[in-house]
Amino acid sequence: MNAHKPLIQIKNLTKSFDQVKALKNISTNIYPGEVVFIVGPSGSGKSTFLRCMNRLEEATEGQVIFEGVNILDKKTDIDQHRQKMGMVFQHFNLFPHLTVKDNITLAPRKLKGVSQAEADKHAMDLLERVGLPDKADTYPAMLSGGQKQRIAIARALAMDPDVMLFDEPTSALDPEMVGEVLEIMGELAKGGMTMAVVTHEMGFAKEVASRVLFMADGEVLEDAPPQEFFEDPKNPRLRDFLSKVI
Amino acid sequence: MRNDHTKSPQIVLLVSAFLVSVLLGIILLACPASASSGAKDKLIMATNAEFPPYEYYDGSEIVGIDVEIAQAIAEELDMELQIEDMAFDAIITAVTSGKADFGAAGLTVTEDRLKSVDFSDTYTKSAQVIIVKEDSPIATPEDLVGKKIGVQLGTTGDIYSADIEDAKIERYNKGFEAVQSLLSDKIDAVIIDQEPAAVFVSQDPGLKLTDEEFTEEEYALAIAKDNKELLEKVNTALAGLKKSGRLDEIKASYINDGAEEENKEEKEEPEKIGGKLIMATNAEFPPYEYYEGSEIVGIDAEIAQAIADELGMELQIEDMAFDAIITAVTSGKADFGAAGMTVTEDRLKSVDFSDTYTKSAQVIIVKEDSPIATPEDLVGKKIGVQLGTTGDIYSADIEDAKIERYNKGFEAVQSLLSDKIDAVIIDQEPATVFVSQNKGLKLTDEEFTEEEYALAIAKDNKELLEKVNTALAELKKSGRLDEIKASYIGTDDGGEEAPDSPGGKLIMATNAEFPPYEYYEGSEIVGIDVEIAQAVAEEMGMELQIEDMAFDSIITAVTSGKADFGAAGMTVTEDRLKSVDFSDPYTTSAQVIIVKEDSPIATPEDLVGKKIGVQLGTTGDIYAEDIEDATIERYNKGFEAIQSLLSDKIDAVVIDQEPAGVFVSQNKGLKLTDEEFTTEEYALAIAKGNEELLEKVNAALADLKESGRLDEIKAGYINSGEEETEEGSYGLKEAIYDNLVSEGRWKYIVNGLVVTLEITLLAVILGIIIGFVVAIIRSTYEKTRKLKFLNLLCQIYLTVIRGTPVLVQLLIIYYIIFASFTNKIVVASLAFGINSGAYVAEIIRGGILSIDNGQFEAGRSLGFNYLQTMVYIILPQALKNVLPALANEFVVLLKETSVCGYIALQDLTKGGDIIRSQTYNAYIPLLTVAVIYLALVMIFTYFVKLLERRLRSSERS
């Protein structure tokens, strides 16, 4: 991997809802293999920031250059680039009318023209990875929250993305199910996947992150490796925040 | 006997049906306190407040002589006066229907009006006078002969002016509109009541009254015929007013101060579009103007272009009907008209003309072998012209000639080629082109008339007129005008369009419920008319195709070309002759009276005051209306009238002789009266203008009569009519056997069921397709604000379709939109599909809205585009949610198809109807049909439930 060339360059990203600025001129780079955690109080703009990266949210100004292309440009075929950016949602958003296997194989089959057999095989591998090979033919309604999120991760991985975006993946889970999801994410990080994670799991961030961003009021106030971030925070608001959550 | 009410064209019926709901709404809103609420102290006066000084608006109040008189009468009667303003010709109706107590509107006592209402004593004498322009030569009523006269619709002037010889009467809704037309020289004189005339004349200096009055008349109040009490009271009150001098006072106070206000007409200046010169033309007149590809070219276009160039403006050409050009110019929609237009007196009244740019002649095209050589030879001939052209105008003067007006020149030529007409009068240049393109045609040596072409320009636009004339002069001098003309005339040889004639089929419209003339035997239509038609078709070497429809649709079917002729025991009546031509009569029949055995009715005179059953739209229906005090019950079918007679709901049935014989022989307890009601003749109805078919049919009929075959056919039916006699009481088994088994009657049900299912299935498919597309467009707009225009179209579609009855939509689609398309199953499927699509669309849209936005985001984040996300992720879930509502819509649709009998489709319902008409049994056919619909719905519902359960099971554990 070329560690010098960023996978995602974010330049002067600004997002306004009517009069309110949710993101104020954010710039940062995400390099291949990096695991960037984004933390901060609710309403700080973390999720908006993440959703701007794959244009689920339209930014007001700025650029997101992904693999050399500014994907915020209206002329860019965003659907092409989204195939390379897996996304995991807080509320899983599995497709209730499809079986677990079909949830995973739908996109590869329809978008990449992968054959059913090949897609199925890949899906079984992914299910193996997330520890749910026996659930292939069940419908999402029969799964627990933790299982749903693991399937959602598998679904996103099925497109072989270059980066994975996680939008508070454990916030909607019962406490006893958080562990199983974090475990999968940890393995993914170890495997070298580039990841951007919005979360409240500070312990997990400390353990897995290559870098942690602290956001408040739409601005990045601290950008540091986890060691420094958690043990020697510079920004007073981050200090205040950490004292409350840890 | 039978007959249909095609007095007004079908379109009018449809449009009015369309508007009825709107009108009802408006009426309900407009008069919350309905006039006929019968409040004791109110005296309701109907008037038309546009007739000063008798009644008119002063601010928002109605005032005038009539109003004061009515007020005085109301006071005498100690009642409160309430004034209802309405159209003049609605007043009498308002009085007869009780909506108003009396009418006061400067109403003259006339014979016709006395038939509908009584009149009070007269309260004023007036005269109809003649208003003309100051310089007019018209001085006496005799001078009006042959003139254009304006009147107010429904007034005395309207009635009397109809008697003026050769005069052209223009009927205006309002008096002042007639006066305005007079001022702008569109008419020569206005006939109107004396008093308002005085007001009009005093307001316009250029108008005067002729010395001699047109006629004298007396005004009175109109009162409903049976309201003698009010009549007496009003007369008493009037007498009181006269005696006290109050009547004269009222009149005096109005007639002198009427002239206070002058009407100022505001002319709207046509807006000048920057640098554009708009030319109105009718691009079907080579070489002057015609389409070459998608462009309009020709002599006129080039001249106009040259003029525009001279004027430094951009030329814009508007193609329109020839007779709309002058209007376009006068209304400012176009700057000038150029369409090979001859300068005529009439046209000069509306527009000015430029200098002429070409001289042309109207020439006569005839077939090579025609004896017509000079214009004089045209007397008494059939002549084709293009509607609104010079030929049209001038040919009207040819003695005894029959003028056929075509929309396009080449249509006239086609008719000439097929011998429908004897000659075509048309402009010289296109004539040359037509003759050179069509073998067998020639021009007569002598021209019909010579004329000059010029450009038409609005009267007040002197500036443009001068510019155009200057430009024309330039073009003439430079020789460019001649060049343009030379380049067009003589170079043309475009392709010929051959009229395609339908292959070998002769379509007969009938109503197969009229034995022995036409009725079902098994699934086939047989009868006297059918055999005659068959014989005619054989003589013509064509194949006969029979279309069964409602009796009152037959004339429409013939006029709209859906059928070649109508044969349905149809009597020749005046009204029908207005819409269609009739062949020679092939049978003479009589309207007879059927009564119960013990009835005292023996002659037509005995019918006075009785309840009489007739078949809707038949001759009996028409004539029965004249029976004094009788109550007429109109049945859709003859046998229904007989059933009512048998159950004593009516006293007698007036119906055609032959079916009457059959009815009486089949039903015990009925007899015919000795004296016939009336006699009449049957003939075939053929579209007006289809002289060729008319001649052929008449020739075939003559052959049939001569050979004795006609009598054979009739004899074969009228004697065998009594084959079946029904026994008084029989069991359910026999009834079921008779209705569903014997003579293969079950086939009506089965075939009808197939038709119903076909229509439903096609309509469901179409409805789903339309519904999906519309729903996706609408929800895309709601989600993304894209597709704004398509969304607007969809909304219009939804509003119109959901706002009008499906039956009206079906009729519009059948009779107007697909008037020339004959596959009824396809038409009906389209109609029901388009209707259903609107409901399906809203159901599916609701389903889409019910899906969580996270589903949408998940789809998009995987890389699916908008449409893919819709198709793979949103719609499958949405459909599952709306399945019950969707199934319900299709159940409704299945049952709605039962109205398709209106366009004469034999669906399940109509099948039951046919059986009913054969067996006179209501129970079995109707219940059978009902049970089948019920069974269909239950089967369908069962499968939907199965499907629902399967889909649901996937989501829940």
Interface probe for A, chosen from B783, B861, B953, B957 (most Cβ of A below 10 Å), is: B861
Helix ranges (H only) for B338-424 are 345-350, 390-395, 409-417
Residue B499 pLDDT: 33
Asked if A56 and B955 come within 8 Å (Cβ–Cβ), the reply is no
Residues 6+ apart with CB under 8 A from B106: B51, B54, B55, B66, B126, B155, B193, B195, B196, B219
Nearest chain A residue to B956 by CA distance is A141
Question: pLDDT digit string (tens) for B426-476?
Answer: 887 778 878 877 778 888 887 777 767 788 887 777 777 887 787 777 777
- What percent of chain B is modeled with pLDDT above 90? 15
| Chain A residues touching B956 at Cβ < 8 A | 141
Q: Does B855 touch chain A (CB under 8 A)?
A: yes
DSSP state of B684: -
Confidence class for position B264, pLDDT limits 50, 70, 90: very low
Question: pLDDT digit string (tens) for A28-51?
Answer: 999 999 999 999 998 899 999 999
Q: Does B294 touch chain A (CB under 8 A)?
A: no
Asked if B863 and A139 come within 8 Å (Cβ–Cβ), the reply is no
| Chain A residues touching B857 at Cβ < 8 A | 56, 89, 93
Q: Does B860 touch chain A (CB under 8 A)?
A: yes
Asked if B877 and A156 come within 8 Å (Cβ–Cβ), the reply is no
Q: Which of A89, A97, A159 sits opposite B877 (nearest CB)?
A: A97
Nearest chain B residue to A157 by CA distance is B862
Confidence class for position B500, pLDDT limits 50, 70, 90: very low
Q: Does B785 touch chain A (CB under 8 A)?
A: no
Nearest chain A residue to B866 by CA distance is A79
| Chain A residues touching B863 at Cβ < 8 A | 79-80, 82-83, 107, 111, 159
Q: In B398-437, which positions are buried (b, 16+ CB within 10 angstroms) versus exposed (e)?
A: beebebbbbeebbbbbbbbbeebbbbbbbbbbbbbbbbeb
Confidence class for position B761, pLDDT limits 50, 70, 90: very high
- What percent of chain A is modeled with pLDDT above 90? 88
Element (H, E) at B273: none
Sheet of B314-319, strand order? B314-319, B276-281, B336-337, B456-458, B351-353
Nearest chain B residue to A152 by CA distance is B858
Confidence class for position B956, pLDDT limits 50, 70, 90: low
Asked if A95 and B860 come within 8 Å (Cβ–Cβ), the reply is no
pLDDT at B760 over 60: yes
Asked if B868 and A80 come within 8 Å (Cβ–Cβ), the reply is no
DSSP state of B723: S
What phi and psi values does residue B452 have, to the nearest 5 degrees? -125, 140
Residue A92 pLDDT: 93
How close, in Å, is residue A162 to chain B by CA atoms? Answer: 13
**Of A192-201, B620-629, B899-908, which gets the smallest average pLDDT?**
B620-629
| Chain B residues touching A106 at Cβ < 8 A | 862, 872
Q: Does B853 touch chain A (CB under 8 A)?
A: no
Q: What is the dihedral of CA B719, B724, B729, B733, to 10 degrees?
A: -170
Q: What is the mean pLDDT of chain B?
A: 78
| Chain B residues touching A97 at Cβ < 8 A | 876-877, 880, 954-955
Asked if A97 and B860 come within 8 Å (Cβ–Cβ), the reply is no
Q: Which of A91, A107, A139 sits opposite B864 (nearest CB)?
A: A107
Residue B262's Cβ-count burial label (10 Å; 0-12, 13-18, 19+) is: exposed
Question: pLDDT digit string (tens) for B272-296?
Answer: 344 778 888 887 776 777 777 667 7
Say if residues A208 and A35 touch (Cβ distance below 8 Å): yes
Q: Which of A85, A94, A110 sits opposite B872 (nearest CB)?
A: A110
What phi and psi values does residue A166 have, to the nearest 5 degrees? -115, 120
β strands within A4-117, DSSP E = 8-17, 20-30, 35-39, 61-66, 69-70, 85-88
Q: What is the mean predicted confidence (pLDDT) over B928-936?
A: 95
Residues 6+ apart with CB under 8 A from B360: B340, B342, B427, B428, B429, B450, B451, B452, B453
Say if residues B75 and B236 touch (Cβ distance below 8 Å): no
Asked if B862 and A155 come within 8 Å (Cβ–Cβ), the reply is yes
Confidence class for position A101, pLDDT limits 50, 70, 90: very high
CA nearest neighbour of B614 among B588, B640, B633: B633
CA nearest neighbour of B570 among B505, B620, B536: B620
Q: What is the dihedral of CA B410, B411, B413, B417, to 10 degrees?
A: 130
| Chain A residues touching B873 at Cβ < 8 A | 95
Asked if A82 and B873 come within 8 Å (Cβ–Cβ), the reply is no
Confidence class for position B154, pLDDT limits 50, 70, 90: low
Question: Would you state the structure tokens that stand for residue B160, as one six-digit string?
Answer: 């009397």
Nearest chain B residue to A156 by CA distance is B862
| pTM as predicted | 0.47
Residue B304 pLDDT: 82
Q: What is the mean predicted confidence (pLDDT) over B551-578?
A: 80
Beta bridge partners of B766: none
Question: Would you state the structure tokens that stand for residue B211, as one six-digit string?
Answer: 């010395």
CA nearest neighbour of B951 among A98, A60, A73, A3: A98
Question: Would you state the structure tokens that stand for residue B409, as one six-digit string?
Answer: 């020149």
Asked if A95 and B954 come within 8 Å (Cβ–Cβ), the reply is no
Q: Which of A95, A139, A159 sits opposite B863 (nearest CB)?
A: A159
Asked if A93 and B858 come within 8 Å (Cβ–Cβ), the reply is yes
Question: Would you state the structure tokens that stand for residue A202, as one six-digit string?
Answer: 């500070």
CA B496 to chain centre: 34
Q: What is the mean predicted confidence (pLDDT) over A180-191?
A: 94
Nearest chain A residue to B857 by CA distance is A56
Nearest chain A residue to B952 by CA distance is A97
Asked if B957 and A93 come within 8 Å (Cβ–Cβ), the reply is no
How close, in Å, is residue A95 to chain B by CA atoms? Answer: 7
**Of A84-88, A219-223, B43-47, B710-714, which gets the smallest average pLDDT?**
B710-714
Rounded distance between C-alpha atoms, residue B411 and residue B499, angstroms: 9
Confidence class for position A99, pLDDT limits 50, 70, 90: very high
pLDDT at A209 over 90: yes
By a Cβ cutoff of 8 Å, what residues of chain A touch chain B?
54, 56, 79-80, 82-83, 85-87, 89, 91, 93-97, 106-107, 110-111, 139, 141-142, 155-156, 159
Say if residues B222 and B107 touch (Cβ distance below 8 Å): yes
Rounded distance between C-alpha atoms, residue B135 and residue B501, angstroms: 56
Asked if A96 and B865 come within 8 Å (Cβ–Cβ), the reply is no
Residue A54 pLDDT: 92
Reduced to 3 states (helix: H, G, I; strand: E, B; else coil), residue B854 is helix
Rounded distance between C-alpha atoms, residue B857 and residue B866, angstroms: 10
| Chain B residues touching A110 at Cβ < 8 A | 864, 868, 872
| Chain B residues touching A86 at Cβ < 8 A | 861
Asked if A97 and B955 come within 8 Å (Cβ–Cβ), the reply is yes
DSSP state of B125: E
Asked if B954 and A139 come within 8 Å (Cβ–Cβ), the reply is yes
Asked if B861 and A87 come within 8 Å (Cβ–Cβ), the reply is yes
Asked if B857 and A89 come within 8 Å (Cβ–Cβ), the reply is yes
Asked if B862 and A159 come within 8 Å (Cβ–Cβ), the reply is yes
| Chain B residues touching A93 at Cβ < 8 A | 852, 854-855, 857-858
Asked if B861 and A155 come within 8 Å (Cβ–Cβ), the reply is no
- Give counts: helices (H), strands (E), chain B: 35, 42
Q: What is the mean predicted confidence (pLDDT) over B558-564?
A: 80
Rounded distance between C-alpha atoms, residue B461 and residue A18, angstroms: 55
Nearest chain A residue to B878 by CA distance is A97
Question: pLDDT digit string (tens) for B810-844?
Answer: 988 887 888 677 688 999 999 999 999 999 999 99
Q: Which amino acid is at B521?
A: E
Nearest chain B residue to A107 by CA distance is B862
Rounded distance between C-alpha atoms, residue B190 and residue B157, angstroms: 9
Question: pLDDT digit string (tens) for B585-606?
Answer: 877 767 888 998 888 888 888 8
Q: What is the mean predicted confidence (pLDDT) over B700-713?
A: 78
Residue B273 pLDDT: 41
Q: How far is CA B801 from CA B222, B763, B789, B832, B918, in A?
A: 44, 15, 18, 10, 37
Q: Which amino acid is at B216?
A: E
Residues 6+ apart with CB under 8 A from A103: A94, A95, A140, A151, A155
Asked if B955 and A139 come within 8 Å (Cβ–Cβ), the reply is yes
| Chain B residues touching A87 at Cβ < 8 A | 858, 861-862
For the packed helices B746-784 and B923-955, what is the interaxial angle rounded to 10 degrees?
A: 40
Reduced to 3 states (helix: H, G, I; strand: E, B; else coil), residue B626 is coil
Q: What is the mean pLDDT of chain A?
A: 92
| Chain A residues touching B853 at Cβ < 8 A | none
What phi and psi values does residue B631 have, to the nearest 5 degrees? -100, 125
10 Å Cβ neighbour count for B594? 25
| Chain B residues touching A139 at Cβ < 8 A | 954-955, 957
User: Could you identify the residue written with the tokens 């229904």?
Assistant: B640
Count CA within 13 A, CB hemisphere, residue B799: 6
Rounded distance between C-alpha atoms, residue B431 and residue B429, angstroms: 5
Q: In B265-299, which positions are buried (b, 16+ CB within 10 angstroms) versus exposed (e)?
A: eeeeebeeeeeebbbbbbbbbbbbbbeeeeebbbb
